Amino acid sequence: MKVGMSLTAWVLRQQSQHPGARGELSTLLLHIALAARMVAQQVAEAPLRGLIGKFGKQNVQGEEQAKLDVVADEVFLEAMMASDVVSALVSEEREDPAYMPEDWGRAHYTVFYDPLDGSSNIDVNVTIGSIFGIYRHRPTDRGRLEDLLRPGRDQIAAGYVMYGSSTLLVLCTEDSGVQGFTLAPGTGEFFLTDADMTMPKMGTCYSVNGSRTPFWDDTTRRVVESFRDGQVQGPKRTERYIGSLIADFHRTLLKGGIFMYPGEVQKPEGKLRLLYEAAPLAMIAERAGGGAHDGKMRILDKVGEKLHERTPLFIGSRIDVEESQRVLAEG
């Protein structure tokens, strides 16, 4: 096995670059990695443990929960609580934030997370993942919703975990590039396999759910047709769509191109959640040299009005994202 720097060593090296650091963010990141390892094991053994299928309840989104949704949410919640540095946690699976005990003096962070994105793909063994974004907590008035609603540009770290043929943790902090760490199952440790990941300035494919075409307005159709027919800068693009946000975004990160999940005439707000899906991925995209917008504005500048707010998303290579903005502006 080719062994690179471990995630633990990388986190400690980042910490050493800040002489005044107290190791709190390092602790949180390592606890997130612990949760990822535990969820990866659950995903791998789901058919054997009877974790395939639906749980029989709906989450706050009105979506039927998969059994693994519930398991992954508990794993991430408990791991981050155990870090002793988190003040508030906001999960896709929970209507309200989870606040840590008042007397945890080092609880300086707020985490937004989607514990298991793409859970509808679990039963057919398609790549799924977890997404998270970390903010410094604002302790103005514990429990105030407005203290949790922040623009994505305030994130100090963001990442996602892919559970597929291998388990990959992709991570960036406010002063690092985008790093990819692959889990070595025999050791239980993540190792750096994709250092300083960058997104090509332009891609050769686009990713969108074409079956939703009848529900889009004319401008949205024009954007997709522009990539398909070669009416934007660069060559005609080939459509590639998996139907799992993490898998589609990761391909875009590595190969370039654009992923689009636009709003619809009857659902202009789109489907993806701003704070724990779009914003963390937008931070990663921008740090890798790409971009992300909602059709009108930069994703990282958006401030949600509610915890589970949805947003359209256009994310990917810089030139492709700019071309989508241009076509949308032309109407």
pLDDT tens track for 172-185: 999 999 999 999 98
Q: Are residues 137 and 213 in the same domain?
A: no
Tell me the Ramachandran region of residue 321: left when phi exceeds 0, alpha when psi lies from -120 to 50, beta otherwise. alpha
Q: Are residues 47 and 187 in the same domain?
A: yes
- The stretch 22-41 carries a mean pLDDT of 95
Q: Is residue 1 part of a domain?
A: no
Q: What is the pLDDT of residue 144?
A: 78
Write down which residue in 154, 173, 197 finishes a domain. 197
Q: Is residue 311 within 8 Å of residue 281, measured between CB atoms?
A: no
Instruction: Tell me which of 180, 197, 214 is where a domain ends.
Output: 197
Strand pairing class (238-239; 205-207): parallel
Within-domain flag for 46: yes
Tell me what the pLDDT averaged over the chain comes to: 91
Task: Count up the domains in the chain and report the number.
Answer: 2
Name the pTM for this structure: 0.94
- Listed residue (244, 34, 207) closest to 122, CA to CA: 244
CB atoms within 10 A of CB 4: 15
**Does residue 2 lie within any of the structural domains?**
no
Spatial distance between the Cα atoms of 315 and 294, rounded to a whole number of angstroms? 9
Instruction: State residue 244's pLDDT score.
Output: 94
State the average pLDDT over residues 125-152.
Answer: 86
Of 79, 108, 115, nearest in space to 94 by CA: 115
The contacts of residue 136 (CB under 8 Å, 6+ apart) are: 108, 109, 110, 154, 156
Using alpha carbons only, give the angle 229, 232, 237 rounded to the nearest 5 degrees: 50
- Which tokens in the block code for residue 100? 């840590």
Q: Do 175 and 318 belong to one domain?
A: no
Q: Which domain holds residue 316?
A: 205-330
CATH number for the domain that contains residue 253: 3.40.190.80
Co-location of 70 and 138 in the same domain: yes
* Of the residues 168, 197, 226, the one at which a domain ends: 197
Q: Which residues pair with 315 in a beta bridge?
A: 259, 292
pLDDT band at 284 (very low <50, low <70, confident <90, very high): very high
Can you give the CATH number for the domain in which 61 is found? 3.30.540.10
Residue predicted with more confidence, 242 or 20: 242
- Tell me, yes or no, whether 312 and 257 share the same domain: yes
- 193 and 269, same structural domain? no
The model's confidence at residue 54, banded by pLDDT at 50, 70 and 90, is low
Alpha helices (H) in the chain, listed in sequence order: 7-16, 24-44, 46-49, 67-82, 218-228, 245-255, 279-287, 318-330
Answer for the pair 191, 3: CB distance below 8 angstroms, yes or no.
Answer: yes
Mean pLDDT of 289-307: 96
Q: Do 184 and 225 fall within a single domain?
A: no
Structural domain includes residue 300:
yes
